[in-house]
């Protein structure tokens, strides 16, 4: 680190990911020397690269107020809104060694710019608008109460930056998965009391391989969101809505959720083998034989587990208390 005569500024080298899909075979990282002021943002660092070093450096920005979602990038792997993140704080956090990267290297078009077509396609797929049979010449507004507005939680604060979408490991493994941003939007419009397409939307997000049941509940989306929205919370709400509105049908995923509750109710512990048998049946269980052998070796399951007539799972002390908690907290009959 090199401090200048003014302690409010610092001379540093900022690294940036560079790649032009039209001309480059491989991406590379380039360093840029600059002086950073204590109030400057990551967006200012990108402006300095472009205006003082290399005019071809490309990135998106528009509002500079954290509301358009255009400037989302990663700094040392962490998704940020460049116009919201103080550069000096990040330099302190990472010992003056920061690298600017696009949200997704796989979808990069040029430097920080990614092709978000998949993001917008998924957003469109969930009908991200209010569907209602409205009077084309209304004489008054369609008002909502504060309670009705609050029911949408913070889902309406999404600025479509894509940070959660490109941080989601389920989406990286399965391109058909709708992803946290689209599912957050699905909740937002389904929870809106003015909307009439709730059932249709819940069917869309029920689809196996695409919908809410393919979320692996890793929490990465909540960690990534610069607006501190928690998409996984909305995914949980959509699960509940599907049960409440009788959209949820018996499949591996819904039976897995039921099996989880069944195991805790029965033992107070999670019976890993029972969950597999309950959700996939005895035949399905054989698909997991390799994993089962590994789990047996480390003592996570025993050979008797999954044998229907042997119940060797211990029971937790005060099981009745656990059962009461389940009854109090369950919002749906599974």
* Residue in 278, 280, 253 with CA at minimum distance from that of residue 265: 278
Q: Side-chain half-sphere of 308: how many Cα atoms within 13 Å? A: 5
Show the binding pattern over residues 43-72: x = contacts ligand FES (CB under 6 A), - = does not: ------------------xxxx-xxxxxx-
Judged by CB, which is closer to ligand FES: 60, or 237? 60
Interaction partner, residue 160 (ligand SF4, ligand FES, none; CB < 5-8 Å by kind): ligand SF4
Q: What angle do CA 139, 143, 146 make, to 5 degrees?
A: 165
Maximum C-alpha span of the chain? 78
Query: Alpha-carbon distance 163 to 225, whole Å?
Result: 6
Find the shortest distance in angstroms from Cβ 83 to ligand FES. 3
Q: If we measure between CA atoms, which residue out of 126, 284, 147 comes closest to residue 205?
A: 126
Residue in 164, 202, 275, 322 binding ligand SF4, rule: CB under 6 A: 164
Examine residue 62 and tell whether it contacts ligand SF4 (CB under 6 A).
Answer: no
Using alpha carbons, list the distances in angstroms from residue 24 to 58, 113, 287.
Answer: 14, 15, 43
Type and span of the H or E element at 73: strand 72-75
Closest distance of CB 221 from ligand SF4, Å: 3
Binder of ligand SF4 out of 102, 128, 231, 306 (CB under 6 A): 231
The answer to whether residues 102 and 82 touch, using CB atoms and an 8 Å cutoff, is no
Q: Which does 155 bind (CB under 5 to 8 A by kind): ligand FES, ligand SF4, none?
A: none
Contact with ligand SF4 (CB under 6 A) among 45, 161, 241, 247: 161
* Closest approach of ligand FES to the CB of residue 240, in Å: 32
93 touches, from ligand FES, ligand SF4, none (C-beta below 5 to 8 Å by class): none
Could you tell me how many residues of this chain bind ligand SF4 (CB under 6 A)?
A: 26
By CB under 6 A, is residue 254 in contact with ligand SF4?
no
Decide: is 186 part of the binding site for ligand SF4 (CB under 6 A): no
The dihedral through the CA atoms of 60, 101, 211, 234 has a sign that is: negative
Map the footprint of ligand SF4 across residues 31-60, applying CB under 6 A.
none
Distance CA 74, CA 41 (A): 14
Q: Name every residue whose Cβ is closer than 8 Å to that of residue 261 and which is 6 or more positions away in sequence.
A: 326, 330, 334
User: For ligand SF4, which residue of 14, 34, 163, 182 counts as binding (CB under 6 A)?
Assistant: 163
- Provide the binding-site residues for ligand SF4, judged by CB under 6 A: 158-164, 168-170, 180-181, 184, 215-221, 224-225, 227, 229, 231-232
- Provide the binding-site residues for ligand FES, judged by CB under 6 A: 61-64, 66-71, 81-83
């Amino acid at each position: 680190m090199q401090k200048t005569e003014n302690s409010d500024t610092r001379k540093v080298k900022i690294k940036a990911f560079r790649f032009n899909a039209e001309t480059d075979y491989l991406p590379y990282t380039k360093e840029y020397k600059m002086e950073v002021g204590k109030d400057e943002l990551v967006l200012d660092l990108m402006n300095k690269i472009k205006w003082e070093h290399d005019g071809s450096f490309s990135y998106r920005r528009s509002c500079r107020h954290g509301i358009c979602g255009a400037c989302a990038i990663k700094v040392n792997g962490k998704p940020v809104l460049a116009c919201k993140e103080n550069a000096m704080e990040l330099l302190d956090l990472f010992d003056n060694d920061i690298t600017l990267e696009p949200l997704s290297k796989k979808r990069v078009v040029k430097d920080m710019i990614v092709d978000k077509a998949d993001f917008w396609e998924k957003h469109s797929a969930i009908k991200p608008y209010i569907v209602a049979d409205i009077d084309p010449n209304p004489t008054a507004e369609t008002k909502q109460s504060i309670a009705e507005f609050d029911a949408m939680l913070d889902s309406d604060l999404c600025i479509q930056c894509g940070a959660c979408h490109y941080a989601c490991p389920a989406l990286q493994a399965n391109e058909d998965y709708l992803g946290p941003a689209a599912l957050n939007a699905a909740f937002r419009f389904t929870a809106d009391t003015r909307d009439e397409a709730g059932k249709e939307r819940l069917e869309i997000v029920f689809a196996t391989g695409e919908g809410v049941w393919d979320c692996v509940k890793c929490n990465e989306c909540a960690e990534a969101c610069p607006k501190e929205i928690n998409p996984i919370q909305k995914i949980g709400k959509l699960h509940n809505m599907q049960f409440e509105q009788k959209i949820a049908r018996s499949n591996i995923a819904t039976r897995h959720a039921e099996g989880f509750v069944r195991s805790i109710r029965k033992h107070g512990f999670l019976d890993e083998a029972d969950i597999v048998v309950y959700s996939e049946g005895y035949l399905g269980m054989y698909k997991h034989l390799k994993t089962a052998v590994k789990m047996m070796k480390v003592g996570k399951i025993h050979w008797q587990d999954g044998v229907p007539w042997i119940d060797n799972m211990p029971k937790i002390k005060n099981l009745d208390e656990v059962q009461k908690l389940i009854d109090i907290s369950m919002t749906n009959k599974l």
